[in-house]
Structure 1
Amino acid sequence: MLKEFKEFITGGNVIEFAVAVIMAGAIGAVVKGFVSNIVMPVVGMFMGDVSLADMKHVLSEAVVDASGKVTTPENAITYGAWIDTIINLVIVGFVMFMIVKSYNKMKKKEEEAPAAPAGPSQEDLLTEIRDLLSKK
């Protein structure tokens, strides 16, 4: 059983999967940074200099005691952050689509590569030998 596990874990599929998970995490982080730091400020500018991530619907206000300490935090639906997440999802999906599309295109080119031309057939070689012998 240990031998089977060793073969499984060192097999190509597991390693490829691990690389894919790490790459997806990295791509997700890059896209999240892109959306949060570049796209959303531009969207907010067109919405009247409003930060979309700060948009929310407050269900109940925060309760503050006499010393200014928050005793009960605010309860709010942060729909701006949800919109930010949806935009992240769409961009990550598009990036992954482009990666898979280019991988499939590259794989297709490898499959379509013409096979090396076959050498002369056995009959051609025998005919050539016969012709050479008949010239002597």
Structure 2
Amino acid sequence: MIKEFRDFIARGNVMDMAVGIIIGAAFTAIVSSLVADIINPVIGLFTGGIDFTDKYLVLSGEVAAGTGLDAARESGAAIFAWGKFVMAVINFLIVAWVVFVLVKMVNRVKDAAVRKDAEPVTSTEPAAPPPPSAEALLTEIRDLLKERTA
């Protein structure tokens, strides 16, 4: 069983997946900071700082008007926190857009590198003449055979 576990861990796919998860966690922190610290404030400028996080409906129970979401939940009332859901959807769309743009940029750089590698190397020597056609080769062989027999 230990040997099987060692073989499983030693496979390249498992190691690639582990590296991907670690890089993904670090990348998540970068994207989250980009969204929270840079993009959301800019969007807030255009929307007048609208934040739906504390918007909710009271389904049952008593909650005083103007009470925050956390206090309303602590009061024991049944709360429909639609604002938090709206903000989660907005944040998801922003994160998805940022990831899309980053992946598109990485692919563009990767494609440029592949094209650069695929470009032929130009040399200063003249190109070799194209090989003779089959008809010319057959004619040359015929003539050589005639000279031999003559």
Percent identical pairs in the alignment equals 17
TM-score normalized by the length of structure 2 = 0.55
Q: How far apart, CA to CA, are the structure 2 residues paired with 1:71 and 1:106? A: 51
**Matching residue of 1:81:** 84
What is the aligned partner in structure 1 of residue 140 from structure 2? none
Match of 2:10 in 1: 6
Task: Specify which of 115, 121, 144 is matched with residue 116 of structure 1.
Answer: 121
In the alignment, the residues of structure 2 paired with residue 29 and residue 77 of structure 1 have an alpha-carbon distance, to the nearest angstrom, of 26
If you compute each CA radius of gyration, which structure gives the higher value, 1 or 2? Answer: 2
- Measure how far apart 1:116 and its partner are: 3.0
Displacement, 1:23? Answer: 3.4
Give the letter for the 2:21 counterpart.
A
Separation (CA, whole Å) in 1 of partners of 2:13 and 2:93: 33
Shift of 1:120: 5.3
Q: Could you tell me how far apart the structure 2 residues matched to 1:58 and 1:85 are?
A: 20
- AA paired with 1:5? I
Post-superposition offset of 1:42: 6.2
Could you tell me how far 1:34 is from its partner in structure 2?
A: 4.1
Q: Which amino acid aligns with 1:8?
A: G
The 1:30/1:62 distance shift into structure 2, 3 A limit, reads farther
The CA deviation at 1:84 is 0.4
**In structure 2, how many angstroms separate the alpha carbons of the residues matched to 1:71 and 1:97?**
39
**Where do 1:52-131 residues align within 5 Å?**
52-62=52-62, 73-113=76-116, 114-117=119-122
Q: Which residue of 2 aligns with 1:21?
A: 24
CA gap 1:53/1:31 in 2 versus in 1, 3 angstroms:
farther
Per the TM alignment, residue 21 of structure 1 is displaced from its structure 2 partner at its CA by 1.8
Contact 1:40 1:52 in 2 (8 A): no
Structure 2 residue runs of 5 or longer lacking an equivalent are: 64-72, 130-150
The DSSP-based 3-state class of the residue aligned with 1:88 is: helix
The residue number in structure 1 matching 2:67 is none
Query: In the alignment, is the contact (CA less than 8 A) between 1:57 and 1:76 conserved in 2?
Result: yes
Q: TM-score, normalised by structure 1?
A: 0.60
Query: Which ranges of structure 1 fall in alignment gaps of 5 or more residues?
Result: 64-69, 125-136
Give 2:10's aligned amino acid. Answer: K
Higher strand share: 1
In structure 2, how many angstroms separate the alpha carbons of the residues matched to 1:71 and 1:109? 56
